Amino acid sequence: MSIAENLLSIKKTLPNGVTLVAVSKTKPMSDLQEAYDAGQRIFGENKIQEMSEKQALLPKDIEWHMIGHVQTNKVRQMAEYVSMIHGVDSLKLLEEIDKQAAKHDRVIDCLLQMHIAEEETKFGLDVSELMALLSSEKLTTLSHICIKGLMGMATFTEDKIQIEKEFKHLKNIFDTAKSSTTSNCQMAILSMGMSGDYELAIACGSNMVRIGSSIFGTR
């Protein structure tokens, strides 16, 4: 099947209110253009350099989502155009995003990445770190970022019960965190689910899915 056909068949299965981020990392410009021509406007990349190269050449109405781990010293390179940063897992990184966004007179939407998987290697906050961040005095001073929700990745396993347990856990954290609404923190987005597990993620309460290989083919 073509990229356009894959895209449309996935879109058909998504309930209203679930946003699709087409994960185009490692894929050539022509693949992104094909998805764009089929109506897709939100693309996810995990390397800032690669995202910036694509952003410079593709249509300007694309919303670029950074879904990978972000190094503080690279925020500057995407601050002018990035639409949402999914992998924020420290106050220090939020401060840097705020600083760089201010230079462009922008407010950058961020998701806080939660650690829900069993693997030690995955980035993210635990619940107590999340609560500490959300209640920090410093956060109230950042006027060029807006925390829009949470993001998480389940353990890389075939065990659906395990994945479901982790997704439900993240949904619970999200529901708790929602109550702490401030001018720069409006929890509305729960970004969870990839090609292999997005249907389960949606059933567990996700409203933003990040799908790569089911649209563009294996990497």
**Chain positions contacting ligand PLP, by CB under 6 A:** 23, 25, 46, 67-68, 153, 194-196, 210-214
| Residue number of the CB atom closest to ligand PLP | 212
**End-to-end CA, the chain:** 16
Tell me whether residue 196 or residue 205 sits nearer to ligand PLP (CB atom). Answer: 196
β-strand pairing of 84-88 with 108-114? parallel
Cα-atom radius of gyration of the chain, to the nearest Å?
Answer: 17
DSSP secondary structure code for residue 68 in this structure: S
Closest CB 212 distance from ligand PLP, rounded Å: 3
The single residue listed with the structure tokens 């619970």 is 172
Closest CB 137 distance from ligand PLP, rounded Å: 30
Which amino acid is residue 155, in one-letter code? T
β-strand pairing of 63-66 with 145-152? unpaired
Closest CB 140 distance from ligand PLP, rounded Å: 29
Q: CA angle at residue 82 from 81 to 84, to 5 degrees?
A: 150
Tell me whether residue 6 or residue 46 sits nearer to ligand PLP (CB atom). Answer: 46
Closest CB 213 distance from ligand PLP, rounded Å: 4
- Contacts of residue 19, defined as CB under 8 A and 6 or more positions apart, other chains included, come to 42, 189, 207, 208, 209
> What is the CB neighbour count within 10 angstroms for residue 68?
18
Tell me whether residue 20 or residue 146 sits nearer to ligand PLP (CB atom). Answer: 20
Tell me whether residue 86 or residue 144 sits nearer to ligand PLP (CB atom). Answer: 86
Closest CB 194 distance from ligand PLP, rounded Å: 4
Calpha distance 182→54 (Å, rounded): 34
Tell me whether residue 67 or residue 78 sits nearer to ligand PLP (CB atom). Answer: 67
Please state the separation of Cα 172 from the chain's center in Å. Answer: 18
SS3 51: helix
Tell me whether residue 115 or residue 210 sits nearer to ligand PLP (CB atom). Answer: 210
Closest CB 144 distance from ligand PLP, rounded Å: 24
